[in-house]
Structure 1
């Protein structure tokens, strides 16, 4: 969930003191002007002569009634102003609480993602180091039994071949599990190479689809949770292509660039003076020309929900666009500094 609405609504607060005093000055000035005009033109006397002839209609009581009405309206306006101030303070307090809860939720979600990826990395390492080692030993022993039994013990030879086949099958399955737990090459070669390897794998699985990959910018120095989040986004997007758009043209675009932030001149000057380092963001876009979908209808899978939660947990934005027979597109924008250790205030 994005925090932009909260920030925009919290900025709509009570007017600054300068505006209040300016309005009060106008009220006093208009009152003094009305008194001066009334004195200059003898307004009360003229009004008295006008209403005296209408005494049978009790219109001579009109000035007093209007005075009471004006005082009552002033009291009513003051009460409404006081209630509005109280409501604004209450709303501001709730918005601040919501912002704190949203920040805590994002922090907890980010920590949960980090813990999940650490556990996946540990599990992948254990599968590779422990099970892989024992499977290699089993394969070597079975190969030795096969060689010793060749031509002399047909039954033992047949069983050894079965053991070799089973060990090879389990080793391939474990390799697939390791790749799902921890992308190949991500730690060794970096994010762009890992994504190229991932797309190459899908090129083999989907020969009728075409893939265009464009990666621009420097992706070094990113946090581990951000790196794996970007990879999982692309991975989930390609999985959706395999499910719904197997014959489509797929375009993947990833770029790291300075974030475009709209500021006033004073805010921009203050920001430049406080920090000369530009704020970068990473934009990931994947589009295909497949059958598309109606986003107003509920979806059975949790892929898009998981993608959105991953992105928003890092303080980013996630958008989806699609129409039936018009293809599918998602765009994620994530701060490049997301997930890095921040100093505690």
Structure 2
């Protein structure tokens, strides 16, 4: 017996699963009603049901029980008409619900598109601001530091007050430069555009290792992450970044495991010939956890969910008090490619 998956796929394509239409179901039920009616008539003719019923009811003629069959016939017709009206109303309600569901799906798709555009605009502004901070303020701060160092060298022996002020100016320029560097890293991840997503994530995790020496971090990345859209790349980075930020707030001494993989997605009916990859990001810690039934004051998880769902993905959270915290995001690897502008040569 062959276990070739191509044969099974061909079998599925040759014999697709078919659902019975409402019209065929109605015709089948009506046929059963007719068959049962004919069978009842045949049994009545063979068993002389009417004659026996007459003999049974002849003794109570004063109650007019012999008119009961006609009354029951009228009742049956009335019940049939009632059922037909309810059926018509049910079909109308189903059609209205189907139309409303289609409208809801269109609105949801439009909402996701708008949310994706908003995130892209936000990241574009962040990238522009980071570039301006680096190119403009960074250069001027370097010039100020160099001039202050020159003043320090010239005034070391002759003007002690100017020498002291120049040292303070150098320290202030260095402090501002470090602050601007931190702002640039928050606005646009270091190495994301130059070295790719895995390197940027490794740099991010290394930074948190320095900030939280009491915590333990593990990062595992599997698969090829080239050719992704900029929106998807920055979303994956922001997920890990926000997750690590939450760890620093609520589980600073825990063991943190970050796992990201790109793998083929489960094939759906009708997509056997189409290769669809998805990216799965999972972060878990063994910290104090949280009660998800209680409302949370922060917007971190909400923002993470909005980012993932804007790209057509899924976002799930699992936690309980003293049971750690885990989130899992699943996003199609092709997300955001259709919305990116074509490069201009």
Kept after mapping to 2: 8 A contact 1:14/1:88: no
What secondary structure, in the 3-state scheme, does the structure 1 residue paired with 2:316 have?
A: strand
Taking structure 2 as the reference length, the TM-score comes to 0.89
Aligned twin of 2:193: 187
Q: What are the residue-to-residue correspondences of 1:90-105 with 2, within 5 Å? A: 90-105=96-111
Corresponding residue of 2:8? none
Greater relative contact order, per chain length (Cα 8 Å cut-off, separation 6+): 1
* Pairing 1:311–2:308 present: yes
Is contact 1:285-1:329 (8 Å) kept? yes
2:14 matched to which residue of 1?
none
Deviation at 1:323, TM superposition (A): 1.1
Cα separation, 2, equivalents of 1:308 and 1:133: 38
Provide the rounded CA distance (Å) in 1 between the counterparts of 2:28 and 2:57: 37
CA distance in 1, matches of 2:44, 2:321: 72
How far does the alpha carbon of each residue in 1:245-287 deviate from its partner, in whole angstroms, 9 at most, with x for none? 11100111111111225x5xxx3xx322xxx232111111111
Structure 1, residues 130-183: CA drift from partner, whole Å, max 9, x if none?
111111111111111111212111122111111111111111111000000000
Determine whether 1:38 maps to 2:35.
no
Normalised TM-score (structure 1):
0.89
Distance in 2 of aligned mates of 1:114 and 1:283: 21
| Cα displacement (A) at 1:342 | 6.3
Aligned partner of residue 258 in structure 2, secondary structure: strand
Residue 138 of structure 1 corresponds to 144
**Match in the other structure for 1:260:** 266
**2:119 alignment counterpart:** 113
Query: C-alpha offsets along residues 56-91 of structure 1, whole Å, 9 cap, x if unaligned?
Result: 232212101111110111011001101100110111
Which of the numbers 160, 165, 179 marks the counterpart of 1:159?
Answer: 165
Q: How many residues align?
A: 322
| Alpha-carbon shift at residue 28 of structure 1 (Å) | 2.1
Does residue 69 of the first structure (1) align with residue 75 of the second (2)?
A: yes
Give the Cα separation in 1 of the matches to 2:92 and 2:308.
Answer: 36
* Distance apart, 1:333 and its partner CA: 0.9
Aligned to 2:9: none
Give ranges in structure 1 of 5+ residues lacking alignment.
1-12
Q: Which residue of 2 aligns with 1:10?
A: none
SS at match of 2:271: helix
CA offsets, 1:196-236, max 9 Å, x none? 10000000011111111111111111111111111111011
